[in-house]
Amino acid sequence: MNDTVFKINLVEDEESLASILKAYLEKEGWSVSIFRTGEEAAKYMHNGVHLWILDIMLPGMSGYELIKKIKNNHSEKPVIFISARDQDLDKIIGLEMGSDDYLAKPFLPKELVIRARKLLHRVYGGGIHENLLVISKYKIDVVRRKVFDDEENSIDLTAKEFDVLLFLVENANVAKSRREILEEVWGKDYVGSDRAVDDVVRRIRKKLGRLSLETVYGSGYRVVS
């Protein structure tokens, strides 16, 4: 699995709802494919999907039939059901069939985003971090420890470069001293020179040219968002 961002297959036949949901999910940095029917979606079980969001009432193949196919092929992929039908019944059947979560229509798109985020965290890890941080058009995938530019090109960073970058981005707009950076990234027992931080910062600047990584005189470094 070398996807740059989480990939979501959204199966929803109501076009306006589908495009609203897609827009909300994409704001999280996720990539969303919309399918109008279960038949169409079933052809894309191998498109590197991380999460399925399924409407139950679909023309033709229902969400129930589709989840059966999904579970037969990729039982580990999480599924969120959305439905406007007899809600309690759908919820029970859906959960029994292996869905991981359920949302009754109408719901706020933001709620779906929150549920999806929780589920992605639970299944794919991420701990206390957000999975994806975005700064100056760079995406930092915290789970996979990768950085991408706005054209999805992966930028090669060493472990130290990544850790320093992450620390500064997580503390965006706050100046961090060389000592703080050393303790965070190299550990409290590090006995070498502060220059190690300067070297890493210089390399980060070179690799991430658009990042605003400032030297704060007398204080250290700061990433400006």
Shortest distance (Å) from residue 56 CB to Ca ion: 7
Residues contributing to the site for Ca ion (CB under 5 A): 13, 55, 57
CB contact at 8 A, 134 and 140: yes
Q: How far is the CB of 68 from Ca ion (least distance, A)?
A: 18
* Smallest distance from Ca ion to CB 183, Å: 54
Quick one: 69 or 160, whose CB is closer to Ca ion?
Answer: 69
Nearest residue to Ca ion on Cβ basis: 57
The end-to-end CA distance of the chain, in Å, is 30
Q: Where in the chain does DSSP place strands (E)? A: 7-11, 31-35, 51-55, 79-83, 101-104, 132-135, 138-141, 146-148, 154-155, 213-216, 220-223
> 61 or 123: whose CB is closer to Ca ion?
61
Closer CB to Ca ion, residue 55 or residue 141? 55
The smaller minimum CB distance to Ca ion, of residues 12 and 141, is found at: 12
- Residue 154 CB, nearest approach to Ca ion (Å): 37
Q: Which two tokens stand for residue 142?
A: 């915290």
Q: In what order do the strands lie in the sheet with 101-104?
A: 31-35, 7-11, 51-55, 79-83, 101-104
